[in-house]
Structure formats: structure tokens, C-alpha cells
Amino acid sequence: MLNEQKVSYSGVQPSGNLTIGNYLGAIKNFSAYSELYKCFYCVVDSHAITVRQVPAELRRRTYETLALYIACGLDPEKNTLYVQSHVPAHTELAWILNCFTMFGELSRMTQFKDKSEKHADNINAGLFTYPVLMASDILLYQTDVVPVGIDQKQHVELCRDIATRFNQLYPDTFTMPEPIISKSGMRIMSLAEPTKKMSKSDENANAVVYILDDKDTMIRKFKRAVTDSDTVVKYAEGKDGINNLMTIYSCFTGKTISEIEKEFEGKGYGDFKLAVGEACADALMPVQEKFRQILADKAYLEEVMKKGADEAAYYARKTLSKVKRKLGFVI
Ligand code: TYM
């Protein structure tokens, strides 16, 4: 809570081209809070460098992610939109919280284990303490809700554990955040291996539909999606590919699973896949058009970033001072 107003906080890494998983699992749900909550949505560039980035690409994607936030309906007048590295309080609090986070807790994080396998030549300390920086993001703003996909739930739970530990030693420091996971889009799977999460870092571009793919590419990718040898469009155990496509179709059209089953009764997978591709394109083409307009105006984006960072820094400083006072730092 900040000044009696509930707070929503979330972030997206500018570490790759954003996917429909990022859109359906997270960004699309951010605007639901704009009216009633104080909302902070961050482009988390400091998190992105836990994996090697090409500097020019990181810079470009930082602008792009901010432009996508706005194109997806986040009004910078109603939401605080900013870049993580513009508010140094994040990394300052992260150091402090590192001293309240256990080695064993961080060792259990599945994202750390996955990323260590994937980047075996670069298992750096930042990758290990990644969740502590994420906890700092959330706790700095006295956050009540954190809209994320299910893959981030473990990190938000660790954040709660850190906050509980800190609050036990220094009462009333942090608000306890709650992860909010959208039922429908919580885990969008890869089109090539539907038991694996769709991920912006996947090397197989056909496994992933990007928010900025053109219509033909979207339709082609859905056409090629891995399914099964059955022919009935039905949500059932063992039909991971079809279940995933039904989830995606449901998210884009608002139809329920049983409505979808009825709609495709007597039709084959080919018709269904085409419909999923078209529904995805219909939803995202207007977003893309807005995105291009916004991205073309770099001065506007820089103004949004600056205003967002000033606003965020104001609240972040308040929490950081409180934390330092409680710890006994001379401030
Ligand atoms: P990131 O950048 O990996 O993903 C951004 C958001 O997209 C969601 N997501 C998905 N949802 C459903 N299906 C998928 N296939 C899929 N792929 C990604 C993620 O769950 C996430 O919500 N650590 C975070 C960024 C972060 C953050 C924060 C989030 C940093 N600080 C503070 C919340 C609060 C991350 O790596 O997200």
C-alpha cells in the first residue's frame, strides 16, 4: 500500500523479442489494475544482463519493451512506466536483501537451475541472486499484487519469505505481495515442444510466436505446431499441443474451452490451427500498429522513461530510507 492505495508491480526483461507468452501471461493483464491500483511496470534491464547481451540490441529492446507496454494499453499518465537501471535504489536494496536471503533458498530456484544448464559457461553470481533483485523491485514499492506468468510464482514466493524474515526482525517494513496468475494465460507452451514453456530465448523461431511477427508468419507457425495423431479438437490429458492451442485461442477470443470444442466439432486440426493463427493476428495487428507509431517517437519514449523514473525513485527512496534507518545505518 502507498498512501492508502493498493499497488500493482511487474516487470519484463528486454532480453529478447517478446512472445505471445509474455503478452497473454503478463502484459495483457497489467492494464486491469490501472484504474484502482497505483501501478508500476518496469523494463528490467539489470536482470537482463545476468545473461550476456549485445549492447545495441539491449538498448533497442529497452525502447521496444516500453513502446509495447504503451501499445498494449498502459497509459503512462495512469501507470508508472520506467527502466530498472534508472532507479539505483533497486540495486541498493538488493544488496541489503542479499544479506537476508539464504544460499539454500536461492539454490532451489528452478529458473536458476534451468539457466545454469543453458548457460553453463556463464553461471555468474548475478544469475544466482537474480530473485533477490526481483524481490527488491517488488518490495521497494510496498506492492500488494504482482501479475506474472506461473514460471515467476516461485520467485514471488521467495520474495514473500524474504519480506517475512525482514519484517520479523524489523516490524512493519514491507507490504506482503501476492502473485496474481491469470488462469488462462499462465503458461503458454512452445509450439514445437508443447511440454516446454514458450520462451523468448528459444533458438527454434518456429516454436515461438512473437508479438511483432507479421500475420503470415503467425499463421505459418500455428499451421506447423506440433499436435498429435488424433483429429478431434478436444481438451484432454496427453494432448499437450492441442491443449496449448486451445488455451491460446481461448485467451485471444474470450471463448471457453467447451465453446471451442463445439465450434470445431466435425472439423480437423487444419481448420483449427488456421483459426488460432487468425485470432492471434486479429488481436495483435492493432497492437503492432500502435507500437510502430510509438517507437518512431523516441523523444516521447524518453520523456515517458524520465517521468516514470522520477516517480518511481520518489517512492523507492522512501522505502530504502526506512530500511536503512531500521538497520541502523547512519543516513
Ligand atoms: P520475463 O521477462 O521472463 O517474462 C515476463 C513475463 O511474462 C511471463 N511469461 C509467460 N507467461 C505465460 N506463458 C509463457 N510462456 C511465458 N513466458 C513468460 C512471465 O511469467 C513474466 O510475468 N523475473 C521476471 C521479470 C521481473 C519481474 C520483477 C516480474 C523482474 N522483476 C518484479 C514481476 C515483478 C522475468 O524474467 O520475466
Q: Give residue 205's pLDDT band: very low, low, confident or very high (50, 70, 90).
A: confident
**Collapsing DSSP states into helix, strand and coil, what is residue 266?**
coil
Residue that is written with C-alpha cell 514471488 in the block: 156
**Predicted confidence (pLDDT) per residue in 43-91, tens digit:** 999 999 999 999 999 999 999 999 999 999 999 999 999 999 999 999 9
Atom 4 of ligand 1 has which residue's CA nearest to it?
A: 12
Quote the ligand 1 centre to 86 CA distance (angstroms).
Answer: 20
Q: What percent of the chain has pLDDT over 90?
A: 93
Packing angle of the helix pair 298-327, 89-98 (nearest 10 deg) = 40
* Cβ–ligand 1 contact at 194 (below 6 Å): no
User: Does the structure show a pLDDT above 80 at 184?
Assistant: no
115 catalytically annotated? yes
Express each pLDDT in 232-281 by its tens digit. Answer: 999 999 999 999 999 999 999 999 999 999 999 999 999 999 999 999 99
Q: E strands, the chain, where? A: 7-12, 38-43, 79-83, 145-147, 178-180
**Whose Cα sits closest to atom 26 in ligand 1?**
11
pLDDT at residue number 46: 98
Nearest CA, atom 9, ligand 1: 22
pTM, two decimal places: 0.96
Mean pLDDT of the chain: 96
Atom of ligand 1 nearest to the CA of 22: 7
**CB distance 65 to ligand 1 below 6 Å:** no
The atom number, within ligand 1, closest to the CA of 200 reads 17
**Predicted confidence band at 163 (pLDDT cuts at 50, 70, 90)?**
very high
The answer to whether residue 40 scores a pLDDT higher than 80 is: yes
Q: For ligand 1, is residue 132 a contact (CB within 6 Å)?
A: no
Q: Vertex 157, ends 151 and 163: CA angle to 5°?
A: 145
- Which residue among 20, 22, 58 has the greatest number of ligand 1 atoms within 8 angstroms of its CB, and so is best to mutate? 22
Q: Cα separation of 216 and 152, whole Å?
A: 31
Look at residue 2 in the predicted model and tell me its pLDDT: 87
How confident is the model over 284-322, as pLDDT tens digits?
A: 999 999 999 999 999 999 999 999 999 999 999 999 999
With a 6 A CB cut-off, is 43 part of the ligand 1 pocket?
A: no
User: Helices H, strands E: what count in the chain?
Assistant: 14, 5
Does the active-site annotation cover 78? no
Pocket test for ligand 1, best of 9, 10, 43, 148 (most atoms within 8 A of CB): 148
CA dihedral sign, ordered 223, 226, 232, 235 = negative
What is the pLDDT confidence band of residue 177, given thresholds at 50, 70 and 90? very high
Catalytic residue among 6, 153, 183, 197: 197
- Give the residue among 213, 211, 189, 215 at the shortest CA–CA distance from 202: 189
Instruction: Give the number of other Cβ atoms within 10 Å of residue 327's Cβ.
Output: 14
pLDDT at 331: 87
Residue 77's pLDDT is 96
Whether the CB of 151 sits within 6 Å of ligand 1: yes
Q: What is the pLDDT of residues 139-150, one digit of tens each?
A: 999 999 999 999
